[in-house]
Each structure stands twice: as C-alpha cells, then as structure tokens.
Amino acid sequence: MLITSAARQLSTKRLSSAFMRSRASFATTTRSQSTMADSDSDDDKDIVQGHIFRKDKAGSPSPWAVFDAWGAGTDVIPSKFDKTKLTPDAVRIPMEGENKDALPTETEILESYDNLLASRSSVHFGYPYNLMYDHSELYSFMKYSINNLGDPFVPSNYGVHSRQFECSVIDFFAKLWKMEPDSYWGYVTTSGTEGNLHGILLARESHPDGILYTSQETHYSIFKAARYYRMQCEAIPTLPMGEIDYEQLARRLEKNRDKPAIINVNIGTTVKGAVDNLDRILEILQTLEIPKENYHIHCDGALFALMMPFVKGGSELSFEKPIDSIAVSGHKMLGCPMPCGIALCRKEHVEKVEQHIDYLNSVDTTIMGSRNGQAALYMWYSLRKKGLDGIERDVRHCMDTAKYLRDKLTEAGIQCRLNDLSSTVVLERPMDDNFIKRWQLACEEDIAHVVVMPNITISKIDRFVSELSESREKFGIKKPVSLFSWV
C-alpha cells in the first residue's frame, strides 16, 4: 500500500506534537527541581512531590523515569474529549459506495482519542503498568516492520529484525537471576501470559504425566495453560495474605508422589501481591525426598520478579536454586507502550521442543511464530537508560509510596492491607461503580486494589483518598470479610 503525502504529514504532525509535549513535561520537571532550594511553600512542595524528587518524601524514581512523555505522572488530567468522535458509528470504516463526508476525519478522531488516553492514564490505579516512560528516541523505528520470527539465537532469512537487542535483554535477565553463561535460553514475549504458557509447556514436555500445583490465587493464565495442555491441575488453598498454604501443598505432593510435580511459584499474586516462599517450597520437596528429576518449578514473576532483587526480605529468586523457568512482564515494572515480557529457562528444557523450519531457516522454539521486534527494542532501550540503579530507585518509590497509601487509607478509616513484599494495597471495594471505573480499580468480590507504580504520586494518592472518603459518605460501605482474617 502506498503512503500518501497527507498521511505522512499527519504522522509527522502527531509525532512532533507528542515530542513537544514530552519536552514541555521535561521542562516543567526541571524547573520544579531547580526551584527546590529557593522555595519551600506548600505549592512548591506539592509540585516536587508530584515528581518524587524529595529524598525525605516517599519514593525517588530514576531521573530518566521522571521524564514523563504522556503526563501519566502529573496531576489528574480533566476528561476533555469529544465523545461523539469515538462512537462506533464515528470510527467505523466505510465500505465502497458509502458517504465518508458525514463522518469525522481521521485527524479529529485521533485527537479526541489522544485526549481520552491522556485523561485515563492520569487516573490509572488498579493495574500494574508503569506509565512513566519516554521512548521518543525510538519513534523513527516505527516505520519498519521489525519481526523477530524464529528463535532469538538462530538467525533466519528475514533481515529486518532486532535479535541483537533481544539477546541483550535476555542476557540482562539471566545475569539478574544468576544464570551461568551458556546455560540459559529465553525470548521476548507478547506478555507475562505467553511466558507462563511457554514455561508450563516446557514442564509438560519434560513430565508428560506430571501434576500442576499452584495456589488458588494464581493468575488465570496458569489455569489456562493447564486447560490448553490437558494437564491435571491441583489448586492449593492460600493463607489469608495470599501465599500458598505450604502444609496443604505438602499433603498434596505426598499423596501424589508417584507422579512428577510441576509447581508454579507466584512471585506476587494478581490481587494481593503475595509472594510464595520459594525456599519453603524447596524444603518441602527435600523433606519428601522428591528428586530433582521428578519436579519442575516455574516462577510467575509478571510484576514482582523484576522488583524482588531490590527488596529486602523474602527468599532470593535465583537460578542457583533448582528452578527451571520464569516469566516476567516488560510493560509492568519496566514500562513499555505495548504489552511484552520475557520467558527464561534452562537451555536443556527448550531443546526438547525445538524443531527446524526450512521456511524460516531457523528453529521453532517459541509460542508465537512472528514476534514483535519493536518490543525487544523498547525493552532494551528502557533497561539501558535506567540501569540497575534506576530500576532500584523505581522499586524504592513503589514500595515507599505504597506504604504512604496504606497509611493515608488507615488514617481515613478505610480498611486496607499491604503485604511486606508488595506494592499492591488491598482495600475495601467501593460501593460506587463510577468511582471504580474512574480510577480503574481491579476488584474481586468484596475487595479492590491499587498497584503502586512509578507514575503514582503523593498528590494523586491524596486526591484518591479524598474522593474515596467522599464516595463512602455518599454511597456507604461494605466491610470486606476477607480483610479481617488478614493479620
């Protein structure tokens, strides 16, 4: 398809506009930082807190992370978009012979959509996505169809790829989790779910008659994998704070010791952010005298696996221990404009599933065939810009700011809980559905949660708690039974 001159101008105009917003945001951030020493008024403090510069305040993300392209880390952006431009009829694609003149133009639709996303990104509280990022330096690469089809380590005949960046990302995570050189394999996935599907697939290929054990509070993708691969799956009850019940796990393993064990270890559950204790699970296996050749351990680390190395307490996540595979998301803690992630495993496992494909001149080892090469490039860029120090600052911000939110809710008389190894604050489910939708809260039965990410600031938390308090006064409360057992 030929790209028209008008289309190029529209694309250039929109990219230029986005870049100018980035520059303006950065300039505002820099001015706030430069006036810290000159002014200590309440207004100036709020601006500084909004960008988390103060060492004595909750959080201190990396300087690069503060460069906020889309306003996700600034104050709440009013919803100023034309809804009529985004209705199903307005955005429909006319067929041959239909009158297009009555419809809004593509530019009008996209401008309205841009305003909608800016507003909703500023009140994004319930899902674990880091919206504090800037990738404007990569915009020019969007004109290329970058496809990493095939195995990351086996070049194919397709030359427009980002394999060198993908391999660099894999190497980074392998070093982070202490894997020996030439002992690992991995690839950039479309999401944490794909990483889980791949990890459980490897486990099933190693143990065709194995039983999958995972906690009842596990992400649904693990249970999806069990259905896809027709595996026997045992959902283990959890402790009140969300960890797997270790005594129940031990009983199930003992009962089924005649079959191999495939164990999913949650490095942060979906709703409560609970981390299963890897060392306790390994102790159970050792006590039951289950040999390594009879078990496979997969770690679902979608959000917290990238945070865990920088948090004190808990059992270390490391391939120096007898774990086999791990999945982590790239768009969550790291931040990326498209869903992505990493699947990492011991090399001997992937060798059991690889097949050579003549058409690719590569081997088939991944879940997907064509793979988004842009995602590998974006993850590489984020890791290079942040570095370990930047990630650690982001993690510290999340952990400290989560404690601030917990304390503010408690002061307001709102029931809430926070696991020690988590930035997910669980609270009573608001009675007003409009409030839930406004702040995009994830809810389950009588509880909701806020996942504190680098783009969630002190000023936003203050506003959230204030609006929640007003909502409780107007719509009432329903005390969550599940929170009272969580001590």
Give mean pLDDT, residues 273-299. Answer: 97
315 confidence band (pLDDT: 50, 70, 90): confident
Q: Which two tokens stand for residue 176?
A: 């982070």
Among all residues, which ones are annotated catalytic? 422
For the stretch 115-164, pLDDT in tens is: 999 999 999 999 999 999 999 999 999 999 999 999 999 988 899 999 99
Give mean pLDDT, residues 60-80. Answer: 55
Q: Which two tokens stand for residue 136?
A: 């404007």
Residue 207 has pLDDT above 70, yes or no: yes
How many angstroms from the chain centroid is the CA of residue 81?
27
Rounded to an integer, what distance in angstroms lies between the CA atom of residue 297 and that of residue 318?
Answer: 12
8 confidence band (pLDDT: 50, 70, 90): very low
Residue 42 has pLDDT above 90, yes or no: no
483 confidence band (pLDDT: 50, 70, 90): confident
pLDDT of residue 372: 96
Residue 1 has pLDDT above 70, yes or no: no
What percent of the chain clears pLDDT 90, i.e. is strictly above it? 73
Residue 57 has pLDDT above 60, yes or no: no
Rounded to an integer, what distance in angstroms lies between the CA atom of residue 297 and that of residue 316?
Answer: 15
Give mean pLDDT, residues 279-294. Answer: 97
Lowest mean pLDDT among 10-19, 78-87, 108-117, 390-399: 10-19
Q: Which residues pair with 451 in a beta bridge?
A: 424
Residue 32 has pLDDT above 90, yes or no: no
Give mean pLDDT, residues 11-38. Answer: 38
**Mean confidence (pLDDT) of the chain:** 86
Residue 29 has pLDDT above 70, yes or no: no
For the stretch 141-150, pLDDT in tens is: 999 999 999 9
pLDDT of residue 359: 84
74 confidence band (pLDDT: 50, 70, 90): low
CB 486 within 8 A of CB 241: yes
